[in-house]
């Protein structure tokens, strides 16, 4: 596959013929200008010809970044959760504001990193920037796979580090005080389940009586409610790890039995007006409980107390932290939380790791019988 180098404007360009278009049979050419010297153009020509021979040459096209992101999001919406797509669409707005009109093939790692710097200077958090980076990397990965670009510039660009903050949690005494203070609250049973299972807010709101076996003391996490732009969306949990069984303690079972008795009374009182969705936690007429409403009520109760202020989601962190400190195996904690791997659990709750390490040292030492430095013989851990 030969080619030519010729003077073009103030510089040089190369041009060579590609195989005919398989669909139309028309001749196709590849050219590129802007080289400072004929020697530089010849080197680039040799590289381009080699790539064409190996099937690695990407034909130039006018697809813009914004156009490709729109196409990618349309396809991704078939597989990803609505909340994920909503977050990606927000990220796309930031990307398009910077270089959405630029050709996809003109995107470089430098332009991508300049976007990240611009976002940080605008006051956006490193976490938000990394989320944008994740979206762009995945979208451009598919563009590379489909032959629209030679390489994925976002895979080379560096995103800012996110320094994980230590989770805000309550002590056993503080958690007990809160739960005991909410006995008269309609949401009391929800708070108990959140605190004793580590479930996510949407998972608890989506819990059905058919997923609950109080005799065995176990529930199945299958359904979840999420919110997108304030609207509630119901779905099943997406991953095999999130879809799980969680054991219940005896006290939580008693709380749920009392809650069911109250709900049955409401059902009888409303009669035909009751809307049956089989939900464990719902509005007084049986309709779904908006997750944001639960969050607002929790915030109000915490602020009205003398307890340290934490978020509703921090009940999940509190459950995990207390379980690890109590000596529950990290794999068990990971499975209760629905994490993909135990490593994720240990990474999130790394602040508990030193305590676990110390416990391990004492437990192993307690199994040994060694001569002590003062001449005594006994249990090292004793």
How many whole angstroms separate alpha carbon 86 and alpha carbon 359? 43
The model's confidence at residue 58, banded by pLDDT at 50, 70 and 90, is low
Give the separation between CA 90 and CA 367, rounded to whole angstroms.
56
Does residue 59 carry a pLDDT above 70? no
Residue 118's alpha-carbon distances to 98, 243, 244, in angstroms, are 9, 39, 41
Please report how the helices 314-325 and 330-337 are oriented relative to each other, as an axis angle in degrees rounded to 10.
160
Question: Measured between alpha carbons, how far is 204 from 212 in angstroms, rounded to an integer?
Answer: 11
Angle at 124 (CA atoms; ends 123, 127), nearest 5 degrees? 145
For 333, the enclosing helix (H) or strand (E) is helix 330-337
Q: What is the pLDDT of residue 382?
A: 47
**Complete DSSP assignment for 170-231:** --HHHHHHHHHHTTTSTTHHHHHHHHHH---HHHHHT-BGGGEETTTTEEEE-EEEEEETTE
Is the pLDDT higher at 21 or at 226? 226
Which domains, ranges and CATH numbers included, belong to the chain?
3-53 (no CATH), 65-156 (1.10.150.130), 172-311 (1.10.443.10)
pTM: 0.73
Burial class (CB in 10 A: 0-12, 13-18, 19+), 178: buried
End-to-end CA distance of the chain: 81
Position 299 scores a pLDDT of 97
Given the structure tokens 């008795």, which residue do they identify?
A: 261
More confident: 162 or 113: 113
How far apart are the C-alpha atoms of 79 and 188, rounded to whole Å?
A: 36
Q: Are 222 and 211 in contact (CB under 8 A)?
A: yes
Q: Is the pLDDT of residue 4 over 60?
A: yes
Provide DSSP, 47-98. Answer: HHHHHHHTT-PPPP---BHHHHHHHHHHHHTTTS-HHHHHHHHHHHHHHHHH
| Stretch 115-127: mean pLDDT | 95
The stretch 143-167 carries a mean pLDDT of 86
Give dist(CA 142, CA 68) in Å, integer.
10
Mean pLDDT of 90-99: 95
Angle, alpha carbons 116-350-329 (nearest 5°): 135
Work out the average pLDDT over 175-192.
97
Instruction: Return the pLDDT at 358.
Output: 83
pLDDT in tens, 354-376: 888 888 888 887 788 777 776 66
Question: Cβ-count burial of 69 within 10 angstroms (0-12 exposed, 13-18 middle, 19+ buried)?
Answer: buried
pLDDT digits (tens, 9 = 90+) for 214-249: 999 999 999 999 888 778 888 887 677 788 999 999
* Lowest-pLDDT choice from 123-127, 163-167, 280-284, 340-344: 163-167
Could you tell me the pLDDT band of residue 163, with boundaries at 50, 70 and 90? Answer: confident
Phi, psi of 32 (to 5 degrees): -150, 135
Tell me the average pLDDT across 36-56: 83
């Amino acid at each position: 596959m030969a080619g030519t180098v010729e003077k073009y404007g103030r510089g040089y360009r190369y041009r060579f013929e590609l195989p005919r278009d398989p669909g139309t049979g028309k001749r196709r050419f590849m050219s590129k200008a802007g080289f400072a010297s004929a020697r530089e153009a010849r080197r680039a020509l040799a590289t381009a010809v080699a790539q064409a021979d190996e099937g690695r040459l990407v034909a130039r096209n006018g697809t813009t970044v914004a156009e490709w992101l729109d196409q990618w999001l349309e396809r991704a919406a078939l597989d990803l959760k609505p909340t994920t797509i909503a977050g990606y669409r927000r990220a796309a707005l930031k990307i398009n504001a910077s270089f959405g009109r630029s050709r996809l093939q003109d995107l470089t790692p430098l332009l991508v990193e300049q976007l990240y710097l611009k976002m940080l200077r605008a006051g956006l958090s490193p976490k938000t920037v990394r989320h944008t980076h994740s979206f762009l990397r995945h979208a451009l990965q598919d563009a590379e796979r489909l032959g629209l670009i030679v390489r994925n510039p976002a895979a080379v660009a560096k995103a800012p580090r996110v320094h994980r903050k230590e989770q805000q949690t309550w002590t056993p005494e503080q958690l007990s005080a809160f739960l005991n203070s909410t006995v008269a609250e309609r949401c009391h049973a929800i708070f108990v389940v959140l605190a004793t299972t580590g479930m996510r807010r949407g998972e608890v709101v989506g819990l059905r009586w058919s997923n609950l076996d109080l005799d065995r003391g176990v529930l199945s996490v299958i359904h979840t409610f999420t919110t997108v732009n304030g609207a509630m969306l119901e779905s099943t949990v997406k991953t095999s790890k999130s879809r799980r069984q969680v054991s219940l303690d005896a006290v939580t079972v008693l709380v749920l039995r009392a809650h069911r008795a109250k709900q049955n009374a409401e059902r009888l009182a409303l009669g035909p007006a009751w809307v049956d969705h089989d939900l464990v936690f719902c509005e007084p007429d049986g309709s779904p409980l908006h997750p944001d409403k639960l969050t607002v009520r929790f915030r109000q109760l915490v602020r009205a107390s003398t307890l340290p202020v934490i978020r509703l989601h921090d009940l999940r962190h509190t459950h995990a932290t207390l379980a690890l400190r109590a000596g529950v195996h990290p794999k068990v904690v990971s499975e209760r939380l629905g994490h993909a791997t135990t490593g994720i659990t240990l990474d999130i709750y790394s602040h508990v790791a030193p305590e676990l390490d110390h416990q391990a040292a004492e437990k192993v030492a307690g199994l040994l019988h060694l001569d002590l430095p003062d001449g005594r013989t006994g249990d090292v851990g004793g």
